[in-house]
Amino acid sequence: MRRPLVAGNWKLHGSRASNASLLGAIRAGLQSSWHLDVMVCPPFVYLAETAAALQGSPVILGAQDASAEAQGAFTGEVSASMLRDVGCSHVLVGHSERRTLFGESDELVARKFRTVVAAGLSPVLCVGETLQQRQAGATEAVIRQQLDAVLAAVSDEDLARGIIAYEPVWAIGTGHTASPEQAQEVHAVIRRTVLARSARIAGELRILYGGSVKGANAQALFAMPDIDGGLVGGASLDAADFLKICSAAAGTTQ
Ligand code: PEP
């Protein structure tokens, strides 16, 4: 039985004051009877303060990105070991906004995956097709290509540390969620691809769905057999909606 995970990606949002009230509301609303992992991924500058605000709570901390380099003359970069140092346990790698807006290649994403694992953290590898690719019938090929780039670059041990997030680009921040069936179809492709490498890892691998997840659609998505939780952008900034998503992932109805 895979433990569900709901991760909030705050993207380029927040302030010290708004983060404090959001975290306070999330902490107050999470029920100890809910069996799931909950993570927040604030911008880099707020990570240390968020780690302090989460002391004594079960909420875990993730970063939105990390450098592929461990250290050195790379102005503006933040390394995975620094993220670990300030309290992160997870790092998103290959988010579609990094791939499309910042030109991250499959090869770079694979290097980031390895660097994150080497620092003792768990990468959350994001994969997903554009609308054009879906309409051209290329969804499976695109997902396999993004996955294969990482699978080819990492050991079984590294792979087992990872989580995968299927995020169709056309669903991110658009309000157009994939239907539970559309999402399940791709999640099954992802699990089968990993299964060809290792049945054990595939069985234990958590595959999150991301793309306009809200309190109103979460339950139907999470009811699918290969959907193990969500990577949530916009709705993670609204404590009530985020808690509703967490409740759905825990299998309760709030
Ligand atoms: C995301 O940022 O990864 C995301 C899925 O955003 P949203 O939930 O807003 O679509």
CATH number of the domain located at residue range(s) 5-249 in this protein: 3.20.20.70
**pLDDT exceeds 70 at position 254:** no
Active site (annotated) includes residue 181: no
CA distance 234 to 179: 18
Q: What percent of the chain has pLDDT over 70?
A: 99
Residue 129's pLDDT is: 98
CA distance 105 to 99: 6
Q: What percent of the chain has pLDDT over 90?
A: 98
**pLDDT exceeds 70 at position 144:** yes
Residue 81's pLDDT is: 98
Active site (annotated) includes residue 90: no
Q: Is the CB of 168 under 6 A from ligand 1?
A: no
User: Confidence band (pLDDT; 50, 70, 90) for 252?
Assistant: confident
For the stretch 19-32, pLDDT in tens is 999 999 999 999 99
Phi and psi, residue 54, nearest 5°: -95, 0
Q: What number of other Cβ atoms are within 10 A of residue 54's Cβ?
A: 19
3-class SS of residue 85 = helix
Q: How close is the Cα of 73 to the center of ligand 1, in Å?
A: 32
Residue 250 in contact with residue 230, Cβ under 8 Å?
no
